[in-house]
Copies of this chain bind each other. A is one copy, B any other.
Amino acid sequence: MASDIVTAAVLLIGDEILSGRTKDINAGFIAERLTELGIDLKEIRVVADEEPAIIEALNALRARYTYVFTTGGIGPTHDDITADAVANAFGVKLPIHPKVEADMRIHFADRLNEARLRMARVPEGGELFYAEGIIAPGFRIGNVFVMAGVPKIMQSMFAAIAPGLKTGPKVLSETILANAKEGDVGTPLGEIQKRHPETSIGSYPFQDERGHNTNLVIRARDPDELARVKAEVLAMLDQVHAEVPV
């Protein structure tokens, strides 16, 4: 089954996320969609609007994962340098794409300027994709998909890309509210995990008005295995509740 696994990384490009001014929601959106599609998101990186940082991250990630999805830095201003960085990472030129320029000439007419033409630059070999109603495209080159940073536009671009992605067996999950502290379930939970090394059991503590509580999340690709582990976790919780009154 391991050879069927499709992996991905997300690369967010933007000083505004690193300064804390903008709270990113793109990574979470892509993470959820990839999980639904059956693609394992293995890594997220956020780098500044600096070409060497973008190139280094991109080359590390595209060598390691099936797909890389970038967001941000493809607009018309001087700080939009993602296309330059992608072209340099792949060692290709960054010409004005004739179809994009032609579309823009019609759409913008005499408001087409040097800044907007920057959005027509596509690395050689890049394939275009579009957000609904937006004239400037995203592009795919190799295993890298370069998308806009504005969430609504990015989401529409992702919808255009998604049907063409290779996907693997979906990871199914069950979330169980433990009604117990992590420290009280930790030891027996670890024993269940040891018996099921192929299944991932995650333990996520949180605090609510009643104090410390825990969500247990079981993830497996095989529904029977998922049901088996879930039954073991529920039996373990019964025992913990009997021993440690909530």
Residues of B within 8 A of A19 (CB): 31, 35, 41, 171, 173, 219
Q: Is A3 an interface position by the 8 A CB rule?
A: no
Residues of B within 8 A of A173 (CB): 19, 21
Chain A stretch 14-35: residues in CB contact (< 8 A) with chain B? 15-25, 27-35
On whether the beta carbons of B45 and A77 are closer than 8 Å, the reply is no
Question: Helix, strand, loop or mixed for chain A's interface?
Answer: mixed
What is the CB-to-nearest-CB distance from A242 to chain B, in angstroms, rounded to a whole number?
15
A72 to B96, CA, bound (A): 44
What is the CB-to-nearest-CB distance from A14 to chain B, in angstroms, rounded to a whole number?
8
Q: Is A103 an interface position by the 8 A CB rule?
A: no
Q: Is A86 an interface position by the 8 A CB rule?
A: no
Can you report 9 residue pairs joining A to B where beta carbons are below 8 Å apart? A19-B171, A22-B204, A23-B25, A43-B46, A77-B182, A77-B186, A78-B189, A111-B183, A116-B186
Seen from chain A, the residues whose Cβ lies within 8 Å of a Cβ on chain B are 12, 15-25, 27-35, 40-49, 53, 75-80, 108, 111, 113-116, 118-119, 150, 152-153, 171, 173, 175, 182-187, 189-190, 193-194, 200-207, 217, 219, 244
